[in-house]
């Protein structure tokens, strides 16, 4: 297994590389195009522009200084909707090596430490390895519908993990 470094916080080049990972993967496997890549770029840029290390989380996984994965926790709606898990992706170089587990663990631990009551994410039907990781970590499918928020019609899915009082602990 290559030496993988997980870093919290922005590092130079992370916006471009995370956007590239998303754009390339989703074009190759799902036919997503410019709309999707631009949405990732503008959303990630806006998030990092308002990033507050005390409330938000952003982690990258690198091999030899090259970013090969990412995950983020956006707290902008944490009080009412929950913390939003976003931009979770692994390159082919890291997929299936347990790094995704480590990154999800870091994100969930961060949310617990911050006292967030709920973590949610949006994905779509068919991303089975990611869904397995979400469910393994206690996320439950709570909503599903046809949608086009990524520029292509898919079965959008919302998963939630309850962290608050009375929730089941992992």
Residue 25: CATH number of its domain: 3.40.630.30
In a domain, 131, yes or no: no
In a domain, 152, yes or no: no
Q: What is the pLDDT of residues 84-130, one digit of tens each?
A: 999 999 998 888 889 999 999 999 999 999 999 999 999 988 898 88
Q: What is the pLDDT of residue 169?
A: 46
In a domain, 51, yes or no: yes
In a domain, 25, yes or no: yes
In a domain, 164, yes or no: no
Per DSSP, the three-state class of 141 is: strand
Longest alpha-carbon distance in the chain: 43
In a domain, 167, yes or no: no
In a domain, 148, yes or no: no
Q: 């928020």: which residue's tokens?
A: 149
Tell if the pTM clears 0.85, that is, is over it.
yes
- Is there a contact between 22 and 36 (Cβ–Cβ < 8 Å)? yes
- Is there a contact between 141 and 158 (Cβ–Cβ < 8 Å)? yes
CA-CA distance, 90 to 96, in Å (whole number)?
9
Residue range of the domain that includes 49: 4-119
In a domain, 35, yes or no: yes
Q: What is the pLDDT of residues 48-58, one digit of tens each?
A: 999 999 999 99
Q: How many domains, in total, are found in the chain?
A: 1
Residues of the chain above pLDDT 90, percent: 75
CA-CA distance, 118 to 111, in Å (whole number)?
8
């Amino acid at each position: 297994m290559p030496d993988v470094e997980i870093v919290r916080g922005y590092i130079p080049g992370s916006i471009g590389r995370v956007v590239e990972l998303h754009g390339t993967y989703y074009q190759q496997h799902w036919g997503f195009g410019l709309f999707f890549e631009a949405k990732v770029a503008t959303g990630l840029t806006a998030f990092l522009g308002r990033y507050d290390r005390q409330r938000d989380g952003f982690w990258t996984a690198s091999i030899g200084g090259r970013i090969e994965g990412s995950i983020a926790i956006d707290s902008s709606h944490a009080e009412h909707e929950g913390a939003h898990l976003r931009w979770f992706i692994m390159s082919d170089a890291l997929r299936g090596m347990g790094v995704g587990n480590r990154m999800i663990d870091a994100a969930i631990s961060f949310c617990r430490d911050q006292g967030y009551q709920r973590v949610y994410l949006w994905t779509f039907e068919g991303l089975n390895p990611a869904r397995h990781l979400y469910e393994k970590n206690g996320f439950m499918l709570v909503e599903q519908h046809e949608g086009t928020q990524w520029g292509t019609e898919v079965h959008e899915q919302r998963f939630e993990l309850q962290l608050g009082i009375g929730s089941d602990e992992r």
